Amino acid sequence: MLNRRTLLGSLGATAAALAAPRAARAGAVPPAQRRFLFVHATGGWDTTRVFAPSFGVAGVTMEPEASAREAGGLAWVDHPRRPSVRRFFEDWSSDAVIVNGILLSSVSHASATRLITTGTPDASQADWPSRLGAARAEDHLLPSFVIGGPSFAGRYGVQVGRAGAAGQLQGLCTGDILSDSDLPATPLPAAAAARVDDWLTGATARAASRQAGAAGRALVEDYGVALARGAALRGAVGALDLAGGDTFDAQLALAVRVLGAGLSRCASVAHPDAERITAWDSHTGNDGAQSALFDNLFASLGTLMSTLASTPGPAGGTLADETVVVVFSEMGRTPTVNGMGGRDHWPVTSALLLGAGLRGGQVVGGHGEGLEALDIDVESGAPSTGGTAIVPNVLGATLLALGGVDPRAEGIVDPPISAVLA
Amino acid sequence: MVSPLLLAALAACGPAPRTQPAPADGPAPLADLALLSRISLDLRGVRPSAAELDAVAADPAALDTLAADFLYDPRFGERILSIYADIYLTRPESFVVDANGDAAFLDPFTKQAFIRSVGEEPLRLLARIATDDLPYTTVVTADWTIADDALIAAFPLEAIEEGTGWRKARYTDERPAAGILATNGLWWRYTTTLVNANRGRAEMVAKNLLCDNRFDHPVAFGGSGGASFEDRVREDNACIACHATLDPLGAFLYGFFRMHPESYSEATRYYPERETLWDAFSVAPAYYGAPAEALPGLAGLIAADPRFPNCAVEQGFRAVMGRSPGVADTTALTAARAAFLDGGVTLRALYGALVADPRYRSADPDWPGTVGPKRMSPDQLAASIEALTGFRWVYEGLDMLSTDTYGVRVLAGGADGVVVTQPATSHSTSSALVTAWLAEAAARHAVAADLAAAPDERTLFVFAPPNAIPAPAAQRAQLQHLVRLAHGRDLRADDPDLAALAALWDDVNADTGDPDTAWAAVLAGLLRHPDFLHY
């Protein structure tokens, strides 16, 4: 249980680490030290463009000029209009796992987004980044940092920080945000503000002790944690630029900064940007739209992988040694084309896992006729009749296991896909 | 103006918190001032004024009178707007409709303000229904809407009410009377395509007007077996479960169908000639199996559906109790529903009943269903700070706590309605930072304004002379006054919190040599205190 005393101690260590020289490369880290970067392709991607080589499969229309291709044990769909995808898999297939046949139980954007990020359709439940961040809350100022994309904090609200649509968190740390005011907005002198902070720390503790019920006490204690983190963040921001930007590459750059600085365990970003939330939703003109988006996405992912490999990580090695990249979309698209050259919502999707802790170079799961999701043997990852359906909780259990969190402690009884765990 | 009642109370070194006696068959209620604050925040979005606190301190029986008065406060409408903004989710930062093409929106702040106005249109209509005591069925039957100058200039609207600002208006493009269902604001937020066939819009209607949440329930999809999407929608049981309801419901809404969803000029109008486009999809309009014609038919069926008022009761319960109703809440929901119907199906009747629930008023956390402390929403925070200090954080005309592009709504714990669809119920690092800066700016503003005013016009600093070190008794009285205003709590003279506040004042004054800065520091601290932020 995170309390103020342990938090303050760890915050001091975190702030000191921001300025400390990096230790020698340490290589792989244990699961509990792994970090996560979640990439949400917003709107529902067409899995037959990259992840599902369903050539010659009944009920699935593949794209003209597309072909099946393999590299390092990984099979994917190649196409001349998506050179960045080919280049990515040629360079990084040994670090990659494709999870095919993730079975959702909704084709509504909102509901499917909740399902794939939390395992339930209930928006009050915490998503995977929040749970993973909360598990190492004492080590991070912003355990789960949302730069773009969906976020469901659930009971871990105090563990989740946000960058803001235009990077406003930076202005909140420096105080520059007050310059955006029609009325004169003048902060207190620094010395007075520090006195208020000190007083508020004690006053909040007294307020917590006055609460008659556990819920009220927890709310006040959360506030105490938020206050302490806010003060520490303001102290640390001089060494770190928290201003992001809504382009995908700017979001990734900020994610790398916060993960590399040890500020966050998880960072979440949205593709193609934080604003166009229906970009992947290609009900018309599917082929052109999806090709452009996939090519753009994989070009940036390739750059990201190189960046992670050359960026020092808080554990002493590189960020690549300790970071799992989770690329997903809330749903897939229909296996056939509609009358307007588009594809509609489909309750089967895929995910791409990259990086630390993975047994890379493999595809787990699969699709049957009509792009249906196949059950798998979680030990081998191969399709297996009567095996386990890859429902969102199976994906979630896998991510939690990668992060050293017991899925059962989080109320998830579905098994992780052990085949992907190194 | 110093309240005589307050002076009397302070002279007695502050009374112990007063609490009405527990009813024989219910939990002990909150202390009177705390309960007054809770009701005021839930019904008006602001904390009680000094006069209201004085009235209840003098006579606890005044609480119920004041609670009834709060329902007639103009801010009750704003509160309803805020509550339904988190239900309808119509205040996003952008729409699929792209307003960039219009010259009026070259200025990004003007464009953002227009987007906010569009999103508020259905919410303003609801707020007006609340404040005019109109039956809740007017939500789907009104032959008018509420619009501001921006909407009247951009949409085919004519004002039917004198004045400026938000006022009654009527569309002139032959759209039928259907309340919020006939507003551009609702259908800009909930857009559609030919393939989607208004299904997302139908889901909005079912979910938010009838609390029919079946579409959130997991569905057991199987393989397609090669069947087309259209065939599966008609033949696959997993698909039929939702589509048999959604598709006929969506068929009512083709008058708002846009050939080019992003087209601004197309999106301003209603298209009577498109009402029968459903024919192209072979799905006739029907309401849960009952055939009907056109939008007024849908509106009439919703208005007559018992789920419609029941849903309003559930939504109100969630708003004031801070949690979803469960089976154990059946009695409370039934009582609130009865009050709602008996009161003419007005939102005043409903919310008045909800805040009278003993569990809402309970101070006993062990009593089943007792409402625990809630944190203020960004709307409540902005309004409460403005009411107390006169400071509203506005930038280029945009309220900083209700915008994300330029402001800090989501960072403060609000919902943007698209990516963040539920307001935060706890705190975060970013919300604590927002509160800190807002509190500091507001406190400095308040000190400057209040201390510059004539003594008998001051509301905050009624005991402390400006720019001077107060005598200990005056300092103590001033601190007690500020705590009461900000927290709805009377501090006794020997309360350690009072001593800590006095020490804060002394420290800041010693650091800065400026008593006014010391008062600003104290006020900023009180505005950041959990007792201000929670209720």
In a domain, B82, yes or no: no
CB-nearest partner of A222 from B94, B427, B443: B427
Task: Judge if B186 and B333 occupy the same domain.
Answer: no
pLDDT of the residue at B214: 81
In a domain, B59, yes or no: no
CB-nearest partner of B524 from A105, A188, A347: A188
How far is it, in rounded angstroms, from Cα A276 to Cα B264? 17
pLDDT of the residue at A11: 54
B48-60 tens-digit pLDDT: 999 999 999 999 9
The answer to whether residue B440 neighbours chain A at the CB level (below 8 Å) is yes
End-to-end CA distance of chain B: 27
Q: What is the mean pLDDT of residues A339-351?
A: 93
Instruction: Judge whether residue B233 has pLDDT over 80.
Output: no
Task: Judge if B262 and B319 occupy the same domain.
Answer: no
Q: How many CA atoms lie within 13 A of B459 on its CB side?
A: 11
Whole-Å CA distances, B395 to A177, A179, B399:
10, 9, 6
CB-nearest partner of B424 from A105, A153, A225: A153
**What residue of A is the nearest CA neighbor of B262?**
A278
Instruction: Judge whether residue B7 has pLDDT over 60.
Output: no
Chains A and B form CB pairs within 8 A to the count of 274
How far is it, in rounded angstroms, from Cα A307 to Cα A319? 8
The pLDDT confidence band at residue A26, using thresholds 50, 70 and 90, is: very low
B429 and A230 within 8 Å at the Cβ level: the answer is yes
Task: Judge if B430 and B487 occupy the same domain.
Answer: yes
The answer to whether residue B512 neighbours chain A at the CB level (below 8 Å) is yes
Instruction: Judge whether residue B192 has pLDDT over 70.
Output: yes
Task: Judge if B449 and B489 occupy the same domain.
Answer: yes
Q: Contact A296/A280 with Cβ under 8 angstroms?
A: no
DSSP lists the bridge partners of residue A327 as A39, A352
The pLDDT confidence band at residue A275, using thresholds 50, 70 and 90, is: confident
Q: What is the DSSP letter of A263?
A: S
A153-169 tens-digit pLDDT: 999 999 999 999 889 99
How far is it, in rounded angstroms, from Cα B35 to Cα B63? 8
A280-308 tens-digit pLDDT: 999 989 999 999 999 999 999 999 999 99
In a domain, B425, yes or no: yes
Task: Judge if B404 and B463 occupy the same domain.
Answer: yes
Instruction: Judge whether residue B223 has pLDDT over 60.
Output: no
Task: Judge if B342 and B239 occupy the same domain.
Answer: no
Instruction: State the average pLDDT for chain A.
Output: 92
The pLDDT confidence band at residue B18, using thresholds 50, 70 and 90, is: low
Task: Judge if B394 and B255 occupy the same domain.
Answer: no
B102-111 tens-digit pLDDT: 766 778 999 9
CB-nearest partner of B395 from A165, A182, A204: A182
Whole-Å CA distances, A342 to A50, A350, B228:
16, 19, 13
Torsional sign, CA A129, A131, A132, A134: positive
Query: To 10 degrees, the CA torsion angle through B420, B423, B427, B432?
Result: 80
Domain-terminating residue out of B305, B323, B342 = B305
Least trusted range by pLDDT, from A3-7, A418-422, B114-118: A3-7
How far is it, in rounded angstroms, from Cα A150 to Cα B95? 17
Task: Judge if B394 and B530 occupy the same domain.
Answer: yes
Residue B146 phi, psi dihedral angles, 5° rounding: -120, 130
A187 and B444 within 8 Å at the Cβ level: the answer is yes
The answer to whether residue B406 neighbours chain A at the CB level (below 8 Å) is yes
Q: What is the DSSP letter of B376?
A: P
**Total structural domains in chain B?**
3
Helix, strand or coil, per DSSP, at residue A221:
helix
Sketch the domain layout of chain A as residue ranges. 34-167+244-420, 175-241
CATH class of A34-167+244-420: alpha beta
Instruction: Judge whether residue B3 has pLDDT over 50.
Output: no
- Work out the angle between the directed axes of helices B378-389 and B75-88 (0-180°, nearest 10): 160
- Which amino acid would we find at residue A214? A
Instruction: Judge whether residue B11 has pLDDT over 70.
Output: no
Considering only CA atoms, which of A35, A50, A47, A62 is closest in space to residue A89?
A50
**What residue of A is the nearest CA neighbor of B506?**
A195
How far is it, in rounded angstroms, from Cα B441 to Cα B443? 6
In a domain, B493, yes or no: yes
Alpha helices in B355-428 (DSSP H): 378-389
Task: Judge if B318 and B380 occupy the same domain.
Answer: no
Task: Judge if B385 and B405 occupy the same domain.
Answer: yes
CB atoms within 10 A of CB B32: 22
Structure tokens at A296: 């753009």
How far is it, in rounded angstroms, from Cα B295 to Cα B142? 12
Give which of A102, A107, A195, A343 to mutate to test B binding, by max B Cβ within 10 Å: A195
Spell out the residues 6+ positions from residue B109 whose beta carbon is closer than 8 angstroms to its own: B396, B397, B398, B406
The pLDDT confidence band at residue B220, using thresholds 50, 70 and 90, is: confident
Structure tokens at A166: 């235009």
Whole-angstrom Cα Rg for chain A? 22
Strand order in the sheet with A160-162: A160-162, A144-146, A266-271, A35-41, A323-329, A348-355, A96-103, A362-364
Given the cut 0.85, state whether the ipTM is greater than it: yes
The pLDDT confidence band at residue B280, using thresholds 50, 70 and 90, is: confident
pLDDT of the residue at B5: 42
The answer to whether residue B510 neighbours chain A at the CB level (below 8 Å) is no
- pTM higher than 0.80, yes or no? yes
State the smallest CA–CA distance between residue A86 and chain B in angstroms. 29
The segment with the largest mean pLDDT, out of A217-221, A344-348, B457-461, is A217-221
B260-278 tens-digit pLDDT: 988 998 999 999 999 999 9
Residue-number span of the structural domain to which B18 is assigned: 1-31+374-535
Whole-angstrom Cα Rg for chain B? 26
Spell out the residues 6+ positions from residue A91 whose beta carbon is closer than 8 angstroms to its own: A302, A305
**What residue of B is the nearest CA neighbor of A191?**
B511
Residue B104 phi, psi dihedral angles, 5° rounding: -65, -15
Contacts of A211 in chain B (CB under 8 A): 373
Considering only CA atoms, which of A216, A214, A226, A206 is closest in space to residue B535?
A216
